[in-house]
Structure 1
Amino acid sequence: MSLLRLRNLSVEFSTTGGRFRAVDQVDLDVDKGDVLAIVGESGSGKSVSMLALMGLLPWTAKVTADEMVFDGHDLSKMSARARRRIVGKDLAMIFQEPMSSLNPCFTVGFQIREALRIHLGMDRKAAQTRAVELFDLVGIPDPEQRLKAFPHQMSGGMNQRVMIAMAISCNPKLLIADEPTTALDVTIQAQILDLLVNLREETGMGLVLITHDMGVVAETAQRVSVHYAGQKVEEQPVRPLFRSPHHPYTAALLAALPERATDKRLPTIPGVVPGQFDRPKGCLFSPRCKFADDHCRKVPPEPRGPDLGLARCHYPLNTDERLAS
């Protein structure tokens, strides 16, 4: 049984112009010890889908799913009280914006000790010892003094490391890392990624890595789920995806990597991700796709089989269909 199983997950937000679907019929599976990377442009619904899983979206969001099962628990049918026993302990998340995720009114030490006290029942002394250990683990110097600091007294990179320490404090079964190394320099990025991978190997936790960095994906992930405009458009193991992408959007993302550029100018994807009022009738990527035809523009594609990377495309790349067209 999968550690995490999502089927037909959709998220809609109420706006002045109606309802906007930010996540559209997404399926995901994560097993114990699995490392799944979710990639895509800003506005692709990557973070929103995981926040829906955590139950952290505002009241304006309407979350629906055929299945939303974590470690045998149906999260869609759990009460808020029951979900709070799981979220933060067995299911944890490293948020993208540490300055807006940490409480400015309390020291970082108080916040991490509170998580240890509530979820693991530690007393003050044990929680302090564990907090020092965690700060040292994520590379925060002079941890005893840093625990006394407020978030505004620390840099963005330091606060990011505090968030990582809090997320791994209870040895979660599944860790969702939303751009975990954005505010860190290259050396610390490598240390943090090594830490997460080592924790996965030691504890068997699943890891969902949301990132824009395809280099991080290549080095860290086992499988890659590519999202566009709220939909999952492709999913493959890492090596097959880099070697033979099936969706034109995936191919365009990989072609934009500097190391793959064959010309002096990097290739780009024209246009922008569709919003609430400009969503195409057919394939959502069709206005930006150089292969799109009238059929693509009129008829929404269904996901293909696993042999084609579950590509949501009428004419997947690297197939006889594409070559014939």
Structure 2
Amino acid sequence: MALLSIRNLSVEFATAAGPFRAVDGVDLTVDQGDVLAIVGESGSGKSVSMLAMMGLLPWTATITADEMSFDGRDIRRLSARERRKVIGRDMAMIFQEPMSSLNPCFTVGFQIKEALRQHLNLDRAQRHARAIELMDLVGIPAPEKRLSAFPHQLSGGMSQRVMIAMALACKPRLLIADEPTTALDVTIQAQILDLLSDLQKETGMALILITHDMGVVAETAQRVQVQYAGQKVEEQPVEGLFATPHHPYTAALLAALPERATTRRLPTIPGVVPGQYDRPAGCLFAPRCAKATEICHSTRAPVQGAELGLARCHHPVTQPEEATQ
């Protein structure tokens, strides 16, 4: 049985101009110990999908799904009290922008201990010892001293490590890392990714890595799920995706990597991701796709079989040489 199973997840936001569908029929499966990367441009619904599953979207969001289960429990049917027992303990999330995710009014030690107080039956001394252990685990020097620091007194890299310590506090079975290296310099990025990879291997937890960095995907993930304009357009093991992407969008993303460039000018994807007012009637990628035909513009794309990476496409790529054209 999968640890996390989501089927046909859709999220609509109420706006002054009418409803906007940010996530459109997304499926996702994660097993215990799995490392799944979700990639795509900004606005592709990566973060919103996970926030919907965690119950962290505002009241303006309408969430529907045929299935949304964690460890065999239907998340949709959990009461607010029952959900709070799961979120933060068995399922945790590292948010983007640690400087805005940490509360500036409290010390980082207080914020780590608060997670422990909410979910674990530990007394004050045990919470203090566990907080020091967590700070040390994520590589923060002089952890006992740092517990009394406020977020503004820490660097971006240190703040991100504090966020990771908070997420790991209750030894979750599933960790969601949402752009964990955003706004960090390259050296710190590598340290954070190595830390997450090592912790995942040591604890055996499942890891969902939300990113737009294909280099991070190649180094860290076992499977890759590609999203575009709120839809899942492809899913493959990482080796297969880099060798033969089956959706033209995935192929275009990989072709734009500097290390894959065959000319002095990097290839680009023309146009922009469709928004609320310009969503095509057919395939959402058709206006930007060099392979698009009339059917692509008029008819929603079907989902291909697993042998073609579950590509949501009328004309999936089938040969490695096609993917590089």
SS in 1 for 2:41: coil
**Hey, what does 2:152 align to over in structure 1?**
152
Residue pairs, 1:1-325, within 5 angstroms: 1-318=1-318
SS in 1 for 2:28: strand
Cα distance in 2 for partners of 1:74, 1:54 equals: 12
Cα distance in 1 for partners of 2:24, 2:57 equals: 16
Listed one character per residue, the Cα deviations across residues 79-117 of structure 1 (whole Å, up to 9, x for unaligned) are 111000000000000001212211121111101011112
Cα distance in 1 for partners of 2:133, 2:194 equals: 17
Cα distance in 1 for partners of 2:273, 2:198 equals: 35
Cα distance in 2 for partners of 1:82, 1:145 equals: 35
| Contact preservation (8 Å) 2:97, 2:182 | no
Which residue type is aligned with residue 136 of structure 2? D
Which residue type is aligned with residue 299 of structure 1? T
Cα distance in 1 for partners of 2:134, 2:111 equals: 13
Listed one character per residue, the Cα deviations across residues 112-167 of structure 1 (whole Å, up to 9, x for unaligned) are 01111221121111111111121122222222222111112222222111111101
| Contact preservation (8 Å) 2:97, 2:183 | no
Listed one character per residue, the Cα deviations across residues 181-226 of structure 1 (whole Å, up to 9, x for unaligned) are 2233333333322222222222221100001111111111000000
Listed one character per residue, the Cα deviations across residues 13-45 of structure 1 (whole Å, up to 9, x for unaligned) are 000110000000000000000000000000000
Q: TM-score scaled by structure 1?
A: 0.96
Cα distance in 2 for partners of 1:188, 1:19 equals: 40
Cα distance in 2 for partners of 1:184, 1:165 equals: 17
Cα distance in 1 for partners of 2:146, 2:269 equals: 44
| Contact preservation (8 Å) 2:13, 2:21 | yes
Cα distance in 1 for partners of 2:18, 2:84 equals: 31
SS in 1 for 2:63: strand
For residue 5 of structure 1, report the CA deviation from its aligned partner.
0.2
Cα distance in 2 for partners of 1:235, 1:229 equals: 15
| Contact preservation (8 Å) 2:157, 2:188 | no
Q: Once structures 1 and 2 are overlaid, which stretch shifts more, 178-187 or 285-294? A: 178-187
SS in 2 for 1:251: helix
Cα distance in 2 for partners of 1:97, 1:201 equals: 25
Cα distance in 2 for partners of 1:97, 1:200 equals: 21
SS in 1 for 2:184: coil
Q: Once structures 1 and 2 are overlaid, which stretch shifts more, 177-186 or 289-298? A: 177-186
Which residue type is aligned with residue 186 of structure 1? V
Alpha carbon RMSD of aligned pairs, Å? Answer: 1.4
Cα distance in 2 for partners of 1:125, 1:186 equals: 37
Cα distance in 1 for partners of 2:142, 2:183 equals: 20
Which residue type is aligned with residue 123 of structure 2? D
| Contact preservation (8 Å) 1:157, 1:183 | no
Which residue type is aligned with residue 273 of structure 1? V
Cα distance in 2 for partners of 1:295, 1:39 equals: 26
Q: Once structures 1 and 2 are overlaid, which stretch shifts more, 112-121 or 17-26? A: 112-121
| Contact preservation (8 Å) 1:5, 1:28 | yes
SS in 1 for 2:109: helix
5+ unaligned residues in a row in structure 1: which ranges?
A: none
Q: Once structures 1 and 2 are overlaid, which stretch shifts more, 98-107 or 278-287? A: 98-107
Cα distance in 1 for partners of 2:197, 2:155 equals: 25
| Contact preservation (8 Å) 2:247, 2:312 | yes
